[in-house]
Amino acid sequence: MIAIIAAMDKELKILLNHMQIDLIDTIADKIFYQGKLSGKDVIVAKSGIGKVNAAITTTALCLKYDIEFIINTGVAGGLFPINSGDIVVSEGVMYSDVDVVQIDPDLPYGQMPGDPYIVYADDALVNKTINTLNQMKFNYRKGIIASGDQFVTDSMKLKPLQTVIDHLYAVEMESMSVAITAFKFNIPFVIIRGISDVIDDTLQVQMYTNSVEDIADMTASFVISFLEGYRWIE
């Protein structure tokens, strides 16, 4: 089945409204909704916010269910030249807040010892996402997404990443945990995030507060369209 993970109720609302829910399961404090969405067998999970919550949720999914691939969706902060309402699709994902440079100078800022610097998303899933975005005439970018346990409002915090990565387009708090867990369990994944706020904008926080529900709905609706058109063999 296809797994869809989102952090917050507002990011799950449209998915659950459109889903035929057959079974609800709880593991730790995580809720898993099993059923059909757009004619596909799906398991939709609410992770909660942040990297630990996302890692617990993804691990539970990988251990308990037979997952074909994982979509992690929801909202994110955007970096220039991204606009509010755009969609960012993961070429790859990295940490925004890992720093062991003092003790391990060979590793760049952002890399966890023993783990990849960037975890790349599944090419076929990324391409299929982009085909649907093009068909639906969305504004989107394919690029790198960074995750950390912080709501980022100042791009200076990301400078050590931006000096290396020229197409870092979005920052949020869960997708690297999903990516790295999927990578370790050898399960394909893609991250699809709608931009709820633009980092460094003087009105960023108001932008988030005023638009997060609409952007979450838009992004979830896109994921439903993506599933409708999705075929394993094309």
> Minimum Å distance from CB 95 to ligand SAH?
13
Q: Does 160 sit behind a cis peptide bond, omega within 30 degrees of 0 on the bond before it? A: no
CB closest to ligand SAH, residue no: 77
In the complex with ligand SAH, the residue whose CB is nearer, 91 or 172, is 172
Query: What's the CA gap between 73 and 223, in Å, rounded?
Result: 8
In degrees rounded to 5, what are phi and psi of residue 100? -120, 25
Find the binder of ligand SAH among 44, 70, 171, 220 (CB under 6 A): 171
Report strand pairing: 87-95 vs 40-46: unpaired
Q: Does 82 bind ligand SAH (CB under 6 A)?
A: no
Q: State yes or no: is 197 an active-site residue.
A: yes
Dihedral, CA atoms, 123, 129, 134, 140, nearest 10 degrees? -90
Find the binder of ligand SAH among 97, 197, 220, 227 (CB under 6 A): 197
Find the binder of ligand SAH among 212, 220, 223, 227 (CB under 6 A): 212
Q: Does 6 bind ligand SAH (CB under 6 A)?
A: no
Find the binder of ligand SAH among 72, 73, 90, 196 (CB under 6 A): 196
Residue 153 near residue 196 (C-beta atoms within 8 A):
no
In the complex with ligand SAH, the residue whose CB is nearer, 126 or 171, is 171
Q: How many CB atoms are located within 10 Å of the residue 123 CB?
A: 11
Q: Does 151 bind ligand SAH (CB under 6 A)?
A: yes
Q: Does 107 bind ligand SAH (CB under 6 A)?
A: no
Residue-wise DSSP of 39-52: TEEEEEEE--SSHH
Query: What's the CA gap between 31 and 142, in Å, rounded?
Result: 30
Q: State yes or no: is 11 an active-site residue.
A: yes
Here the tokens at position 200 are 């460094």
* Binding residues among 37-56 for ligand SAH as defined by CB under 6 A: 49
Q: Does 191 bind ligand SAH (CB under 6 A)?
A: no
Residue 216 near residue 194 (C-beta atoms within 8 A):
yes
Q: Which of 91, 97, 172, 197 is catalytic?
A: 197
Residue 61 near residue 182 (C-beta atoms within 8 A):
no
> Minimum Å distance from CB 31 to ligand SAH?
16
Binding residues (CB under 6 A) for ligand SAH: these are: 7-8, 49, 74-77, 151-152, 171-174, 196-197, 199, 208, 212
